[in-house]
Structure 1
């Protein structure tokens, strides 16, 4: 059972990042609660389809990831067999379909076909996968704190409501996938719609689990990646390899995986990397507490994360995320210690292939501190480094925030002519990321407040 999905947000003057509570759906994406602001004076931007962030790890390590993604749920519950669709896959949109959904789905289907080799198409009639768009309030009544979620053997939210808590919607009871429904928010920003389509369609067809150890995947509860990566597409391509079929157990799949990955990703044969263990329940519980609690409890939980990470001997993604949690918890109480924790996290992430977006998120957090302190040259350095990463990873919320910070720093250093187009660019991406003009104005107003505070310094 997937427990929750963490959302990183700009710290700003309040020192808060978005957080979510435990959920009751096995495969879900948490509610989007990222407090970003922006004036709606500029036309909304949108990303064109582009190449995925490439696969950068070795096949032996990724074979272990494949097994843990397919044969375990987030709760640690084992799945007895691998399941997938057998034959062509169709997708239909129903409910109050938002304007962005059709174009985002078309781009995503193109990526599935070209990058994962899937036989998938959109249809207007009954489909293997139905994306049912309903108001957020209706989704939250069904699964509190979930922005979107996936359920087997139903056609939409109404059908799920009738069958919930029955064997029909139990993933562990499946032998193959035939009918899946994705419940998605109708009243969401374009980026929220896109992110739900990316993750939930991928999990409707492929891996059901999420792993904190993955630095390069949307199948990770830290939610740094918002669009499917090269690793994710490789996992889907391997899922539908002809050597595999629904109903195979873990040993049968494991025996075939090395040859499958060697064929699909030959360059991975020459890249080192060892298999990583699953995260212990104690560390996951501390993570839940750190990102779901307030005050001292959150700080104590972050320290437990770090203690457990050290005891496990982790030096990679999970240690960096533990340090990120410490930085988040200390923001507003101990700025020097928070900055040090963020800096340590970034140092680790910059050494890990596929973790550039995590480091860019840290740059945003450090940029907020620098802006508030009037260190405008530092803001320009940090945003100059992070903005290209945010663009290449198609993260509009991060991109909008970084651009707004850069515009404020340029303005503060007397470069108003340079600041103007950067500010307009920020507004366009903010409209895509956050939707309403009120939310756009609120986020950019927070960033402006930081800059004014820095100017007084």
Structure 2
């Protein structure tokens, strides 16, 4: 198994006026649409403990994350022993089945004012765990499964601990953040670290209202992010509720494949009607492309190509473009176009590596190995294939899952048909 070490994280490229609007919408709204009356955060040093049956790889990823929060977000957070019952944040590892029996469909989640799974189960429907009643954070708990792929565990670590510390909302308009339900970014980005640094800046404190925070943000962000300039929060382009509903149905598992595909088409139609040329149209096309695979290859390919072009035209969206590229590279491989497949793969490898997405990295390398086989470069292909397996074990987990993905990619190649 291969694993990532912390690499270079790019600073946010957007102006501070946009970041200020993002900060307010992230900090004063819930994913459900409910409004939070005040800002809440920990006041003073923060401690974190890990409980439950945690694999060693999870412990390593947590150590890296805490180090990043200290250095990049400037948050005074330290790990303490699992027996420290008064820790600010408790990260409890449980089984996926136990988690989803109580909260169906959740990969992992965070809850306020509790310190254990048993305490959460007893208080989950009470005012104790109501985010809207929170004025200052003293205890938070993150619940995540320990019997999934290492990458899935790490992704939970980053997003849920960030939400335990700061915003608990997600915004589809954010292309450079884990605070986005599109799930392209899976480790905290430069934007996310800036948001958390601002969250714990001395200019802010628990109990401040949205208008009070908005008044502080221009000078605060100018200090933390001088390259972004200054200015009042700029109004964000509104996202109609109908588009969100369509995307959620397209992504969800509670509808038939046909219903999901129709919802994706509806999301594309709404995005075009709104004259969007941003990540929301691109993501709608991505959803339609994935749901059209094996049904209508023309629609799937056209959707992926248009989405890739949109993402490539927007600064900082190289990772999103790579998610389109893997589909286009697989198509080129299926046609026997080894040169095209290799060109696409090589173009997208650097941003995938930088984003620390092992599953996507392994898939691209598997496609590259098959394309090299088509060119008769057997020795090089085998080296690339071996490299892919190390990343696949981190990205997909079990040897069974790794083997299945390897066979799936191999079956695409004309060399292996039949």
- Shorter chain as normaliser: what TM range? over 0.9
Counterpart of 1:268 (choices 222, 228, 236) is: 228
Q: Comparing 328-337 with 438-447, which one deviates more in the overlay?
A: 328-337
| CA separation of 1:436 and 1:264: change in aligned 2, threshold 3 A | same
Question: Take 1:456 and 1:413, find their aligned partners in 2: how far apart are those partners?
Answer: 16
Which runs of structure 2 are paired with 1:35-114 in the superposition (5 Å)?
A: 44-114=1-71
**Which of 159, 170, 173 is residue 199 of structure 1 equivalent to?**
159
Partner of 1:407: 369
Secondary structure in structure 1 of the residue aligned to 2:33: coil
* Structure 1 CA distance for aligned equivalents of residues 310 and 42 of structure 2: 38
Say if 1:272 and 1:437 are closer, same or farther in 2 by CA, change over 3 A: farther
Aligned CA RMSD, in angstroms, stands at 1.7
Deviates further, 45-54 or 245-254: 45-54
Distance 2:368 2:230 in 1: 40
Post-superposition offset of 1:295: 3.4
**Would you say the 8 A contact 1:57–1:271 is kept in 2?**
no
Tell me the CA shift for residue 355 of structure 1: 1.1
- Paired residue for 2:309, among 342, 347, 359? 347
Partner of 2:357: 395
| 1:412 and 1:455 in contact (8 A); partners too | no
User: Which residue of 2 is the match for residue 29 of structure 1?
Assistant: none
Tell me by how many angstroms 1:280 deviates: 2.0
Q: 1:275 to 1:378 in 2, by over 3 A?
A: farther
State the shift of 1:274 in Å.
Answer: 5.4
Asked whether the 8 Å contact 1:57–1:268 carries over to 2, the reply is: yes
Give the aligned partner of residue 12 of structure 1. Answer: none
Match of 1:291 in 2: 251
SS of 1:93 mapped into structure 2: strand
Q: What's the secondary structure of 2:141's corresponding residue? A: strand
Is the 1:90–1:128 Cα contact (8 Å) retained in structure 2? yes
**How many Å separate the matches in 2 of 1:288 and 1:157?**
28
Q: Name the residue aligned to 1:157.
A: 117
Task: Using structure 1 for the length normalisation, give the TM-score.
Answer: 0.88
The structure showing larger relative contact order (alpha-carbon pairs under 8 Å, at least 6 residues apart) is 1
- The normalised TM-score by structure 2 is 0.96
Task: Map 1:357-396; keep pairs closer than 5 Å.
Answer: 357-396=319-358
Instruction: Answer with 346-355 or 246-255: which moved more.
Output: 346-355
Q: Post-superposition shift, 1:413?
A: 1.1
Partner of 1:218, secondary structure, is: coil
How far 1:270 sits from its partner (Å)?
A: 8.0
Matched, 1:305 2:267: yes
- Offset at residue 277 of structure 1 (A): 3.2
Q: Measure the CA separation in 1 of the matches of 2:308 and 2:286.
A: 8
- Residues 218 and 232, structure 2, Cα contact 8 Å, conserved in 1: no
How far apart are residue 47 of structure 1 and its match?
Answer: 0.4
8 Å CA contact 1:57–1:272 kept in 2: the answer is no
In 2, the alpha carbon distance for the partners of 1:344 and 1:273 equals 31
The equivalent residue for 2:239 is 279
1:118-149 Cα shifts (integer Å, max 9, x gaps): 10110011310000000111111111111110
- Structure 2 counterparts to residues 314-353 of structure 1, below 5 A: 314-353=276-315
**Residue 416 (structure 1) aligns with:** 378
Q: 2:187 aligns to what?
A: 227
Q: How far apart are residue 310 of structure 1 and its match? A: 2.3
8 A contact 1:53–1:393 mirrored in 2: no
Runs of 4+ in 1 over 3 A off after TM superposition: 270-275, 454-457
State the secondary structure of the residue aligned to 1:146: coil
User: What stretches of structure 2 of length at least 5 have no aligned partner?
Assistant: none
Gapped regions of structure 1 (runs ≥ 5): 1-43
